[in-house]
Amino acid sequence: MSADSDYAELVEELLAGKHRALARTITKIENRAPGYRDLVSQLHQHTGDADVIGITGSPGAGKSTLVDKMANYYRERGETVGVIAVDPSSPFTGGAVLGDRIRMASNVGDMDVFFRSMSARGTLGGLSTATTDAVKALDAFGKDKIIIETVGAGQNEIDIVKSADTVAVLVPPGSGDDVQMLKAGILEIADVFVVNKADLDGADRTVQELREMVHMQQDNTANLATGHHGAGATGGRGADEESDADADDEDETESWEPTIVETVAKDGEGVEELVGTLADHADYLDASGLLEEKARMRYAEEIRNLLRDDVGTLLESEIERQDGIEAFAQQVLDRETDPYSVADEIIEPLEDCLEE
């Protein structure tokens, strides 16, 4: 059986709701099996219906436990869930270091909660192209909610914005240093801040620090139409619900103000409020037109990434044809040429072809 006919049958089974076909599809995507791009291409026209939620935060914040409780809550409402946990990559195999851990204890045996642990594969933001493609597979399969849980937090985690519609950042209580770190960039990607383990000392102070940061950020960007949250329809509950209720009536073009939710994931406390806030943000995106705008930006970035990968592979083949990178490096070392000249020399035939 040819790869094309095999993939056509696989796509047909996936669209028919067969979980084994979904698992096989994601395996082929993650392993970059021959022809996997055609497989993803066939799935694309069946995507666009799922809510994609990103969960990130510092190690030990309780992301996995919270994701487990969220999935359980969605299932109780009759919705299906797909979870992709992006774990650290093994430096030896490229596989997920934590891939075999038990992560979804409350949902073991529930076929309508599909869990997959994937490797970050050394990608700067902890998200690989395979993760984006796996989201497409879950979307095409018909999952109502897709949750991406990423490893770590900080500047490197901003890539989650390119895959998720709504991003929740978990912050453990009493983490003054972590809150300070958020100022480096995480603040701009968070649609919702979650102070998990809110029953511990320091939770109130962490909430207050986050609230001050959110208000400071809103003040600094009040007159700007750029940034992650943008301008559009009325914002959600916001960090300060009492004041937002009045503001909603007065300004129908207010941008989304990141909401702060307190949870105790191990007991399921605050999960209902969190899920409601995530739904508020989804409604905001839809009403403001930002959902379509985010999708357009996401596809543009995906095209750029694919082109960079393809051109990189093409140029690597050309370098090998010309005696390999070591030969060029030796010429640079011997001062016979320089890195810029080498790059120009290698890229010139490609530029000529494109001009013709």
Return the pLDDT at 158: 62
309 belongs to a structural domain = yes
Residue 84 lies in a domain: yes
- Is 8 domain-assigned? no
**Whether residue 194 is found in the same domain as residue 341:** no
252 shares a domain with 348: no
With 0-12 / 13-18 / 19 or more C-beta atoms within 10 angstroms meaning exposed / middle / buried, residue 249 is: exposed
Among 100-114, 161-175, 258-272, the least confident range = 100-114
- Residues 143 and 243 reside in one and the same domain: yes
Decide if pLDDT at 185 tops 80.
Answer: no
CATH of the domain at 94: 3.40.50.300
Query: What digits encode the pLDDT tens for the residues 14-71?
Result: 999 999 999 999 999 988 899 999 999 999 999 999 999 999 887 778 899 999 999 9
Which structural domain, as residue segments, surrounds residue 350? 303-355
Domain count, the chain: 2
**Residue 260, phi then psi, degrees to nearest 5:** -115, 120
Q: Which amino acid is at 248?
A: D
Same domain, 240 and 325: no
pLDDT per residue over 100-150, tens digit each?
344 555 555 567 999 998 876 544 444 578 889 999 999 999 999 999 998
**Does 349 map to a domain?**
yes
Do 211 and 342 lie in one domain? The reply is: no
Do residue 129 and residue 270 come from a single domain? Answer: yes
Among candidate residues 242, 262, 288, the one where a domain is terminated: 288
Same domain, 107 and 189: yes
In DSSP terms, 149 is beta-bridged to 55, 85
Give domain status of residue 25, yes or no: no
Residue 252 within a domain? yes
Q: Is 12 inside a domain boundary?
A: no
- pLDDT, tens digit, for every residue of 296-345? 988 998 899 889 989 998 999 989 988 899 999 999 999 999 999 999 99
Same domain (yes/no): 184, 309: no
**Residue at a domain's end among 263, 288, 313:** 288
